[in-house]
Amino acid sequence: MCLNEKNYRGVNFCLRCGNKMKLFEDEEGKIRSRCTKCGWTYYKNPIPASACVILNEKDQIVVIKRKIEPQIGSWALPSGYIEINQTPAQCAIDEMEEETNLQGEIVKNLGYFSEFSPLYEKVISFGFLMKIIGGQLQAGDDAAEARFVGFDELPEIAFPSHRKFIEKVRKELE
């Protein structure tokens, strides 16, 4: 799949020096956007995120009602974008605590799933099955509500990646 000018819509000025960006074709024939003054290149990459399937001893999982975009007001797994100083696993542990007030530990990696994002064009979500090791469930700053639900009483889940991770855990429990 080739990159084209549409991938760089809105990329007009250099983040490093503020001068104009211009499209060019690199040695591999890929379209890139580069600063006309300092040469800094903007690479268009998917944004990485981590999502948590938090399972309790009753085989219920935590869903949260989103308080921020994208999909504000919809139900989803606790999740967030990976910061530069976090691994995907550390991001899952931190997001779990921030959004649910529960301390967690990773049981297993559920793989990854890449999907469209209205904000960033493409997001890669890493899924983690999490075990609760402390805390009481309570909606954190990024969540309007947080609750435990059984697999047969799940609300509609906003993101295809989250649905995939939930389905994987559900199948493994059967």
Q: Given the rule CB under 5 A, which residues bind Zn ion?
A: 14, 16-17, 19, 35, 37-38, 40
Whether 145 is catalytic is yes
Place of tokens 């990773």: 106
Can you tell me the distance from the alpha carbon of 16 to that of 43, in angstroms, rounded to the nearest whole number? 13
Q: How far apart are the first and last CA of the chain?
A: 38
- Residue 37 tokens read as 């003054």
CB of 10 to Zn ion, least distance (A): 16
Number of H helices, E strands in the chain: 2, 10
3-state SS class at 83: coil
Q: Which is nearer to Zn ion, 21 or 132 (CB)?
A: 21
CB of 124 to Zn ion, least distance (A): 27
Q: Which is nearer to Zn ion, 26 or 83 (CB)?
A: 26
Q: Which is nearer to Zn ion, 19 or 56 (CB)?
A: 19
Catalytic residue among 5, 25, 83, 145: 145
CB of 9 to Zn ion, least distance (A): 19
CB 125 within 8 A of CB 95: no
Please give the positions annotated as active site. 145
